[in-house]
Structure 1
Amino acid sequence: MSTLSPALPRTTDRRLLTWMFVMNAALLTCYAGFMVIFIPDQVQQIDPANKVGNLALVMTASSIGAIIIHPLIGAFSDRTRSRFGRRAPWMVISAATAAIMMVLLSGAADLWTLGVYWVLVMLALNALATAQAAIVPDRIARERFGAASGVLAMGTFLGMGLGVAGAGIFINSLGVGYATFGGMILIAALLFTVFNRDFSSRDMEVAPFRWKAFFSSFWVDPRSYPDFWWAFAGRFLLILAYQSVQSYLLYILRDYIGVSDEASTALSTPLTAVMLVGALATAFAVGKLSDRLARRKVFVIIASLIMGSALVIPLLSPTVAGMFALAAVFGLGYGIYLSVDAALMTEVLPTAQAAAKDLGILNIATTLPQALTPVVVWALISLTGSYTAVFTAGIVCAVAGALSVLPIRSVR
């Protein structure tokens, strides 16, 4: 378990948490808008007959890039020495790159071009997310980790709602929509770094750079840090369960529930809003409660079981009403999970000095499911011809995620 940085004064702490909420909301607005609406729709416009396989291809490619970029940018961020600190430079550069790539992505007319620009967008967004995540162990006190996790969760769910709703508005004007999303993420990053100035890192010690030592640092020995990998496994399984529904929401509505393309796009916003309400009802309160009780694992287990139960609903009721019930219950469980996720991940870090790198490794548990989900969903649908197997697999992953946190010993 790491020795973590002392917190900032309380007033600054409140301001930092507020801006972390805003920044995370901006990030998730981009993630949700592109992954749920923009990219699936753009892929379908290019080749409607092969949309499932093509979406799997571009999403897998972008997720593989994210898997690489998370720990890599984290390691470089840990080593950055500048008057602007270790995190702020990477946040601004990443946001600017994402904005430029989004504008270029809007003009993609073939699958290859779309895939290249989408990968670059995701590389930039995930680099930004990696730098931001390290702010929690850098600047928040341990007894406030749950509150910070709850704030990040609230930003996540607000961003999901705004992203899907915003993308739905711009679905017929991709150029304007992509530019709007790009401008939003850049402005959010600039304002965050201005109002929450990072500490200068010029006087911090840093080991001489050696390629062998640099790359060997990415290996976290499971024998020495088993809790790190159990937390990784739990997050991986729960995100896999989540992605099986969220990433294929449009196609589930169209191909499993049987609504039209236009109606499915219109339904995406209220469905996401219902999930958002359920999540927001629990996120911050559960995060603070976990601080008060000094417990994380029990909330992860409860969340996992709720999410698994929610995935039973569309199996029993493959209707629009069933999808709304799924969204409400699933959102409740996912809100509980995210309210303690960041706290749990921060508390199993091996060292504070390499926080961004190690959080980057843990973030692979978020991006790897994004790479695997399209392939798994495509394979299950190809074999069974139905989304029934997809929901069943999601239930199994959710239950397994609950079991994965039980062996963690350093966190209650």
Structure 2
Amino acid sequence: MSPNPSDDTSSPLSDPQAYELPLNQPATIQVGAERINDALADTSADTLPKLRTRYLWAIYITQLTLFIAFIVPIAFSLAIRVAQVAPDNRDAILALAVGLPGLFVVIGTPLVGMFSDRTRSRFGRRRPWLLFGSVLGLVGSATIALTGDVAGLVIGWSVAYTGYGIAASMLGTHLGDTLPALQRGRVMGILGAISQIAPILGISVAGALVASPIGLFLLPAGIAFVGSLFFILVMRDPKVNTPRPELKLSKVFEGFYFNPRRYPNLAWVWISKACVFLAISMSGLYGVYLLTTRLGLGPADIGALLATTGLLGVVTGIVGAVGSGYLSDKLKTRKPFLVFSAIALGASMIVSGTSNSVPQYIAGGLLLSLSIGVYGAVDQALALDVLPRDTDENGRFLAIIGIGSTLPQAIGPFAAGMVLALGSGDYTVVYIVGAVVAIAGALLIIPISAGRRADLDTHSVKVMR
């Protein structure tokens, strides 16, 4: 296997794929939808050599193990552990435990990406940071498994979550360094499927281990560490001898803002996306507790139900992604599909939040995955449609649009916690407010003036360099 050195020392903010990190299980469907659509793209060859199949399998295994440890606690395990440690204050503590590390990931991963660009270790640029993130994930998860107090739980998950975010972003950045265009569609499509399937596998296992904190956290963390370590040992990440790029925090901050008056279409896309992802984040936080209090299900039954709903949701998510991608290309319009998906997202939250039976909850989950699949396939194309034409900064603007999804996911748990407190502990209120936010996201799509000027195929979206 030949090394694949890269002399590109541009900021990682110019590679949006590297920061497309889902911060909750529903968001994995959106990321998967984008990558599955990338698999349908026509790609051309470039100067990078093809990655061998066995090397790609090492990447796939690492992605699988990381996403099990990264997403499963947010979707299931953390809620179970919080209820065990602090049953009287579980709602507020869960919001804190999920939201705080989410903010660390949003702020920290771009900085780590920048530092990795400057790394000149003989072990490469990305490998040391991948190892660092994997160790943080293992240490933080072990802290949760072995501690019995709230502080240890919150600090432990903050450390673990930050570590997994660093590791996942380094894996994505390594792909940006080494993956040739000829292979990107197929590889990103497979990674998209893995990002959706991994949490389902993890929840299936975690549901049988609810009585054991070590089984809930340390086992998946150990699997993720072994998976990452295996890839670290075979990783082709040669030392880079080019001069270090200048370290300017101002360049980092440029990747977080733009003038909305100058680029109003981009502003409408950003705020609409932020509303949709805020709703997605709110929808997933208290699902375990809703099922416990409303339907009287035990932790093991909840794990089985979430796994079943997730497996069926992968199917509906893919159907929504591929179907809407094809139709939006055929009709040369994006906005109707995005409006539909945001309204369907709001409807799914109402169905789930008012559930009085298992079938109703499953129906809400399937509608959720369908809506996110449609959204994930089309919103990326609309973002490209409205990119400013008077600049040569597509990477920076795409990264800013990406923040429109990651930042709301980070603040969503805090918003859900506040709504729950104001709603006297009624989980249905959280879902209803989330539905209102989603519908607001649909309405904010209407002012976008891209209209029928959708001249880029949805299935030809190219965001990686």
* Fold-level similarity (TM above 0.5): yes
Give the shorter-chain TM-score range: 0.7 to 0.9
Q: Alignment length, in residue pairs? A: 409
Contact 1:296 1:344 in 2 (8 A): yes
SS at match of 1:393: helix
Contact 2:64 2:194 in 1 (8 A): yes
In structure 2, the partner of 1:124 is 163
Which of 259, 263, 268 matches 1:222? 259
Question: Alpha carbons of 1:145 and 1:338: their partners in 2 closer, same or farther (altered >3 Å)?
Answer: farther
Higher mean displacement: 223-232 or 178-187: 223-232
The alignment status of 1:249 with 2:287, answered yes or no, reads yes
Residues in 2 aligned to 1:264 and 1:3: alpha-carbon distance in whole angstroms: 38
Amino acid at match of 2:294: Y
One-letter code aligned to 1:372 = G
Report the residue type matching 1:186 in the other structure: F
Q: State yes or no: 1:388 paired with 2:409.
A: no
Preserved contact between residue 200 and residue 311 of structure 2 (Cα < 8 Å): yes
Q: 1:62 to 1:81 in 2, by over 3 A?
A: same
TM-score (norm 1): 0.79
CA drift at 1:70:
2.5
User: Hey, what's the Cα distance between the residues in 2 that align with 1:68 and 1:3?
Assistant: 16
User: Matches of 1:290 and 1:141 in 2, distance apart?
Assistant: 27
TM-score by length of 2: 0.71
Q: Which moved more, 1:309-318 or 1:294-303?
A: 294-303
Structure 2: give runs of 5+ residues left out of the alignment.
1-12, 17-43, 457-465
CA offsets 1:276-302 (integer angstroms, 9 cap, x no match): 332344557877998999987666555
Supply the AA of the counterpart residue of 1:169. Answer: A
Within-5 A mapping of 1:5-154: 7=46, 11-12=50-51, 21-82=60-121, 85-135=124-174, 138=177, 150-154=189-193
Is 1:319 matched up with 2:357?
Answer: yes
- The whole-number CA distance in structure 1 between the counterparts of 2:328 and 2:185 is 6
> Structure 2 vs 1, CA of residues 140 and 192 (structure 1 numbering), >3 Å: closer, same or farther?
same
272-281 vs 221-230, which deviates more? 221-230
Superposition pairs of residues 321-360 of structure 1, within 5 angstroms? 321-339=359-377, 359=399
Gaps of 5+ in 1: none
Deviation at 1:192, TM superposition (A): 4.3
CA distance in 1, matches of 2:252, 2:140: 28
Give 2:236's aligned residue. 197
Cα distance between partner residues in 1 of 2:113 and 2:406: 15
Letter of the 1:389 partner, please give it.
V
Matched, 1:171 2:210: yes
User: Which of 350, 362, 366 is matched with 2:402 structurally?
Assistant: 362
Q: Distance in 2 between matches of 1:84 and 1:284?
A: 40
Does residue 270 of structure 1 match 2:314? no
Distance in 1 of aligned mates of 2:49 and 2:325: 18
Quick one: structure 1 residues 219 and 371, their matched pair in 2 at CA, closer, same or farther if it must change by over 3 Å? Answer: closer
Change (3 A) 1:250 1:315: closer
Deviations 1:100-128 (A, max 9, x none): 22122211111011111111011111122
Deviates more, 1:358-367 or 1:377-386: 358-367
Distance (Å, rounded) in 2 between the aligned partners of 1:16 and 1:255: 46
**Is this contact kept in 2: 1:130–1:360, CA < 8 A?**
no
Q: What's the counterpart of residue 275 of structure 2?
A: 237
Residues 153-184 of structure 1: CA deviation (Å, up to 9, x unaligned): 32221122122212212222222442321222
Which residue pairs with 1:161 in the alignment?
200
